[in-house]
Amino acid sequence: MKFQSTIQASDGGTFGAYVATPAEPNGHALVLLQEAFGVTSAIRMAADRFAEAGYQVYAPDLFWRFEPGLQLSHSRDDIKKAMDLLERFDQSKGLDDIRATADHIRAQSGFNGKVAISGMCLGGLLTYLSCLRPGFDAGVGFYGVGIEKALDEAVNLKCPIMLHFGRKDAFLPPEVQEAIAQGLADNPKVELHFYDKADHGFYTRGDASDVALAHERTLTFLNKHL
């Protein structure tokens, strides 16, 4: 894959981002965050789907410090490698790269819109954590693993956020989803959605009806807050 944009990291070096450009721009942008498998075809397809709705979408390569342009499959070996990368991933640097992506977008000539953030799995967690910092106008996270560890920080949310979860998700068992539901239920900045038959990864490889419903809810949410 050839990245279409090069972004300056805050601690030196540069990293790439896949860019999906809308045919009919709505004036706003979206930073779309990868899963543990890199900026794969599934992430690029999701970016293209948001571009069809009018958003200028940037999907940054968050694993550039390990292997720029890395794309993993769901084979046994690649899943093992993805899990190893997650263990080694520096979350703080990743959040800095995400903010650098938003800053890069806002620095583009003629851009004066708002910037939202979205992501799946690892990207879902990083979406939530990014919304605890200044820099984004709205966030949408899909099945973010680890959000339950930062529920007490939800009081610091800087923008509205929508979170999607599949009830059949083995990485987010019922007790974890219940903790998230209870921990965020009274937060006016949070909107939660649960999908009874959906598994982990449903937004990119799940049932078409769940994908369509989640995408419709997401676009409605973004249209409301941007």
Is 169 an active-site residue? yes
Query: Residue 133 — φ and ψ, nearest 5°?
Result: -110, 160
Is 131 an active-site residue? no
Helix axes 122-130, 91-106, angle to 10 degrees: 70
Dihedral Cα 98, 102, 105, 107, nearest 10 deg: -120
Location of structure tokens 């509205």: 160
Three-class SS state of 56: strand
Out of 121, 131, 137, 225, pick the active-site residue.
121
Query: Are 36 and 122 contacting, i.e. CB atoms less than 8 angstroms apart?
Result: yes
The amino acid that residue 113 corresponds to is G
Out of 97, 169, 210, 225, pick the active-site residue.
169
Is 96 an active-site residue? no
Out of 28, 104, 164, 200, pick the active-site residue.
200
Rounded distance between C-alpha atoms, residue 108 and residue 49, angstroms: 22
Neighbouring residues of 109: CB distance < 8 A, sequence distance ≥ 6: none
Residues forming the active site: 121, 169, 200
